[in-house]
Amino acid sequence: MPNIDMIDQMKALLRRRSSCVLATTDGTAPHCSLMAYIPSEAGDRLFLVTPRNTKKFRNLTRYPKVSLLIDSRGEQARQHTQALTLNGTCYTLDNDEDISFLRQAFIRQHPHLQEFICKGDVVYLCVAFDSFLLLNGPDKAHHEILKEKPSTGGFRQ
């Protein structure tokens, strides 16, 4: 049975932070990328933006299973650092209304990315979570597997 308090703690960290490390694979080797993100309102998905001509995007089109790491470094003493690992499936958004909404949300929440977003051939991605693993400090771990799969709908669901 899921521990709702712990899931709420995990989603709170997800909402509090705005960058993550995205791990993809080409089938033989992992590839990590530092990414800005926006979480869904429900905290069951997050949204990313990347240029199409990147190794990460090539990896994602062939191998959509990903892992993300979000942590609380810099928020408190190191012994109290939290690290949240999210596993899920990544897909490309293709709904023009969702893309327009996300473009504006990224510019608003990540103004340093405005030029990158507006000039390039970028693609908007969604990661729907399968599981959460939260580490509180170096040795307190809590794992939750989501029984209900997140919607593959747009940003505002």
Residue with structure tokens 């939290």? 82
Fold of 4-145: Pnp Oxidase; Chain A (2.30.110)
Distance (Å, whole) CA 129 – CA 124: 16
Give which of 70, 84, 81, 89 is closest to 17, Cα–Cα.
70
Please list the pLDDT of the chain residue by residue as tens digits (157 residues): 567 788 898 999 999 999 999 999 999 999 999 999 999 999 999 999 999 999 999 999 999 999 999 998 877 666 668 999 999 999 999 999 999 999 999 999 999 999 999 987 999 999 999 999 999 888 899 999 987 655 555 555 4
Model pTM?
0.90
Per domain, the residue ranges of the chain are 4-145
Query: Could you tell me whether strands 65-71 and 140-145 are parallel, antiparallel, or unpaired per DSSP bridges?
Result: unpaired
Instruction: Give the separation between CA 19 and CA 128, rounded to whole angstroms.
Output: 16
